[in-house]
Amino acid sequence: MKTFPVFARFPISLFSAAFFGALAAPAPAATLGGPLNLEDEGSFFVNGQSIRSEYPGASLVTGPAPAGNITVNQMYVHYRVPAGRRGVPLVMVHGSNHTGMTYETTPDGREGWATWFARQGHPVYVVDHSGRGRSGFNPTPVNAVRDGGADPKGLPTLFLGPIDRAWANFRFGSEYPKPFPNLQFPLEAIDQYLAQLVPNAETTLAGGGRNTIDALAVLLDKIGPAVVVVHSQSGVYGLDVVRKRPNLVKGLVSIEGGCETLNQDDVAKYFARVPFVSVWGDNSIGAWGVNGNQRREGCRHAVNMINGGGGKATFLLLPEAGIPGNSHMMMMDKNNLQIAGLLRKWIGENVR
Amino acid sequence: MKTFPVFARFPISLFSAAFFGALAAPAPAATLGGPLNLEDEGSFFVNGQSIRSEYPGASLVTGPAPAGNITVNQMYVHYRVPAGRRGVPLVMVHGSNHTGMTYETTPDGREGWATWFARQGHPVYVVDHSGRGRSGFNPTPVNAVRDGGADPKGLPTLFLGPIDRAWANFRFGSEYPKPFPNLQFPLEAIDQYLAQLVPNAETTLAGGGRNTIDALAVLLDKIGPAVVVVHSQSGVYGLDVVRKRPNLVKGLVSIEGGCETLNQDDVAKYFARVPFVSVWGDNSIGAWGVNGNQRREGCRHAVNMINGGGGKATFLLLPEAGIPGNSHMMMMDKNNLQIAGLLRKWIGENVR
């Protein structure tokens, strides 16, 4: 077991001014690029359902619990509403093995997209998929096998990609541990990055990932029209949210998300009205895995279909825009705010 | 299955001003009691360890992963550093079945302790226990049974208390569904509350809850001296953090947390220097469950031991202070900010 040094960019001295008041100590460097002045900030849940659990497990302190109702399928939503808000609201949705942390502070301690967009005036809603992170998961299928003799073969698989898999899938390099020579991902902080990966426990929920799609639709019902930002696994979720709430998605921003379910019918029904941008880094090129050539070219095809059907879609291949070296986790890459700036420009030009 | 209406206090119209700019629409009511002006805000992890997982599970898209290294035991830390900070930093630690959401927006959409203390000038660090929420958990023991033929009896129990258990343990009433007549908990929003409960998946980690204690110690090494606020299950964690870092805990605030491990040796070694307050609501009275008479009177005894040993400890029984009706979840109760004010006063009077 290897214990890694944590939070290397924030030595004790960084925050020490707080403990000595505002005396002689210089103000510590902040993560953010400037003040974050919020009119509101907080969190809530959408899409929770109360179900009976026959196997709610045992507290190590108070012992086994009898069967009863637990809440599942809920989605945690964290909102930041800037003072003097002046931009369209954004909903930010992460991908496989991740949580909303995707859009918070980068692994090397720089500003992420959530606060950056808020500081530009956009209300920002960051979610954890149903079944992931603060959204919890359903423990019943596991406890049932442990306590009740249900068939172990019926256990949900709880996928958490090891570093080798993460390395290749998230496009830090073709094969661990060799990085791409032009890589923008802050590999010096990879231990912080790996710490944010969590098991895909939505497999414990009836309906799996569909709960997140349902929850996103309900979220839009609550907050009103917004631009939805999806990533990787949630690329196809974004397409489904457009199908469910075409009048509430002001634009769909897909960061190396899949487009494979888009069809001609969707274009006529929905995407003629919903602006769409599919963003790809150049480390997707040459890869035939999940986040490589096949998925990317599928999105190029989808963009062409939308534009051919009277819609407004953009295929943004970063190296073609003169921006080399981006990984699949471009919201954390060293040039993450340059890409955020491109997206903000796209929103300004395409979203009414 | 019952689908509950979500976020009832925030109808669509609440945020609608955002979508029509600053035109005629009145400014929506905010969750917060005033602006939250932050010098810094973000998140990081402490205490991650890289271990080999023989059973990292299968992605539903990319298939089973070969064995490899995953990160476990990490603790998610979310920090808010107010502009013009002038108070001692606070670390806020939740209890069983909860995450850091405990200290965020209340179930009925009022301000929680995290932002309130930040708005009074305190840097605030809210954590998710190792094995819970955004800290992730170790899926290996579950996948091993599913994929490898490990003994189902070796599965970790994943406790998630059903509503009946939550109702009694968290002191909304003696028995579900009857509430205490003077209850301060916002039962009208109990669906939002139940949505924040998550399984105690730290049972998947070697060391279980001890990882959170270790992580809290490492957190203090990083950020420097702070007041540590613990709740319920983490009451005894707080005592261990004092034992591990007596020079970095400026004060220990225990919200209906257990004191049962405190002994005379601790008092002489540590608590003669670390101010301590144990806070109890009057709905703990008469209860013989985990959060009732026995635990509370154990804390009264601990406070007396500390004061008898030259330390500075306070036993704060809210009904004795003229504040009736508080549940175990007093950071969410209707008078949550009144209690926060009492704690801030205690900090001002006791923490150097």
Chain A contact present for B157, CB below 8 A: yes
Q: What is the pLDDT of residue B28?
A: 54
What are B342's two structure tokens?
A: 């009492």
Chain A contact present for B61, CB below 8 A: yes
Q: What is the pLDDT of residue A28?
A: 54
Average pLDDT value over all residues in chain B: 92
Q: Which residues of A touch B88 (CB under 8 A)?
A: 18-19
Q: What is the pLDDT of residues B201-230, one digit of tens each?
A: 999 999 999 999 999 999 999 999 999 999
Measured in angstroms, the CA of A35 and the nearest CA of chain B are apart by: 5
Instruction: Look at residue B249 and tell me if it is in a domain.
Output: yes
Q: How many CB atoms lie within 10 A of CB B275?
A: 22
Measured in angstroms, the CA of B323 and the nearest CA of chain A are apart by: 26
Measured in angstroms, the CA of B233 and the nearest CA of chain A are apart by: 9
Burial code (b: 16+ CB inside 10 Å, e: under 16) for A76-101 equals bbbbbbbeebebbbbbbbbbbbbbbb
Residue A112 in contact with residue A78, Cβ under 8 Å? no
Q: Per-residue pLDDT for B288 more than 90?
A: no
What are B6's two structure tokens?
A: 């979500």
CA distance A98 to A199: 8
CB nearest to B65's CB, from A37, A66, A161: A161
Instruction: Look at residue A60 and tell me if it is in a domain.
Output: no
CA distance B25 to B15: 10
Q: In a mutagenesis test of the A interface, which of B45, B145, B153, B294 is the best target, namely the one with the most A β-carbons within 10 Å?
A: B45
Inter-chain CB proximity B71 and A191 less than 8 Å: yes
Instruction: Look at residue B183 and tell me if it is in a domain.
Output: yes
Q: What is the pLDDT of residue A287?
A: 81
How much is the average pLDDT of B297-316?
98
Instruction: Compute the count of residue pairs across chains A and B with CB atoms less than 8 Å apart.
Output: 381
Instruction: Look at residue B305 and tell me if it is in a domain.
Output: yes
Inter-chain CB proximity A199 and B2 less than 8 Å: no
Instruction: Look at residue B27 and tell me if it is in a domain.
Output: no
Q: What angle is formed at CA B184 by the lines to CA B180 and CA B189, rounded to 5 degrees?
A: 95
A12 burial via Cβ count (<10 Å: 0-12, 13-18, 19+): middle
Q: What is the pLDDT of residue A148?
A: 86
CA distance B253 to A17: 23
Inter-chain CB proximity B60 and A89 less than 8 Å: no
Q: What is the pLDDT of residue B130?
A: 98
Give the DSSP letter string of A80-110.
Answer: EEETT--S--EEE---TT--GGGGSS-TTS-
Q: Which of residues 5-34 of A touch B (CB under 8 A)?
A: 6-7, 10-12, 15-16, 18-19, 21-22, 27, 30-32
Confidence band (pLDDT; 50, 70, 90) for B170?
very high
CB nearest to B133's CB, from A134, A139, A147: A134
B122 burial via Cβ count (<10 Å: 0-12, 13-18, 19+): buried
Chain A contact present for B105, CB below 8 A: yes
CB nearest to A53's CB, from B47, B162, B198: B162
Place of tokens 């110690």: B217
Question: What phi and psi, each to the nearest 5 degrees, are found at residue A225?
Answer: -55, 140
How much is the average pLDDT of B272-277?
97
Q: What is the pLDDT of residues A180-232, one digit of tens each?
A: 999 999 999 999 999 999 999 999 999 999 999 999 999 999 999 999 999 99
Q: B293 CB contacts (<8 Å, ≥6 apart)?
A: B284, B285, B286, B287
Q: What is the pLDDT of residue B265?
A: 96
Place of tokens 């271990």: B51
Measured in angstroms, the CA of A178 and the nearest CA of chain B are apart by: 16
Q: Per-residue pLDDT for B11 more than 70?
A: no
Give the three-class secondary structure for A260: coil
**Straight-line distance from the first to the last Cα atom of chain A, in angstroms, rounded to the nearest whole number:** 52
CA distance B181 to A20: 46
Instruction: Look at residue A35 and tell me if it is in a domain.
Output: no
Residue A196 in contact with residue A98, Cβ under 8 Å? yes
Q: What is the pLDDT of residues B230-266, one digit of tens each?
A: 999 999 999 999 999 999 999 999 999 999 999 999 9
CA atoms within 13 A on the CB side of A273: 12
Chain B contact present for A223, CB below 8 A: yes
Task: List the domain range (segments joined by +) for residue B320.
Answer: 84-121+160-350
Q: Worst-scoring range by mean pLDDT, A60-64, B6-10, B100-104, B338-342?
A: B6-10
Note the residue count of chain A: 352
Q: Per-residue pLDDT for B169 more than 90?
A: yes
How much is the average pLDDT of B334-347?
98
Shortest CA distance to B252 belongs to which of B109, B18, B37, B91? B91
CA distances from B8 to A50, A126, A241, A248, B87 (A): 17, 19, 22, 19, 34
Q: Which residues of B touch A146 (CB under 8 A)?
A: 152-153, 155-157
As for how many domains chain A has, the answer is 1
Residue B223 in contact with residue B249, Cβ under 8 Å? no
Q: Which residues of A touch B43 (CB under 8 A)?
A: 101, 104-105
Q: Which residues of B touch A42 (CB under 8 A)?
A: 31-32, 104-105, 109, 111-112, 115
Burial code (b: 16+ CB inside 10 Å, e: under 16) for B55-67 equals bbbbbeebeebee
Measured in angstroms, the CA of A162 and the nearest CA of chain B are apart by: 5
Instruction: Look at residue B308 and tell me if it is in a domain.
Output: yes
Q: Which residues of B touch A50 (CB under 8 A)?
A: 1-2, 4, 163, 191, 194
Chain B contact present for A1, CB below 8 A: yes
Q: In a mutagenesis test of the B interface, which of A9, A14, A37, A45 is the best target, namely the one with the most B β-carbons within 10 Å?
A: A45
What are A248's two structure tokens?
A: 């509430």
What are A296's two structure tokens?
A: 């990317």
Chain B contact present for A161, CB below 8 A: yes
CB nearest to A35's CB, from B38, B96, B143: B38
Q: What amino acid occupies position B250?
A: K
Instruction: Look at residue A287 and tell me if it is in a domain.
Output: yes
What are B57's two structure tokens?
A: 């599970």
Chain A contact present for B218, CB below 8 A: yes
Residue numbers of chain A with a pLDDT score lower than 50 = 1-27
Q: What is the CATH number of the domain that holds A247?
A: 3.40.50.1820
Q: Which of residues 171-210 of A touch B (CB under 8 A)?
A: 191-192, 194-201, 203, 208
Q: What is the pLDDT of residue B220?
A: 98
Q: What is the pLDDT of residue B140?
A: 98
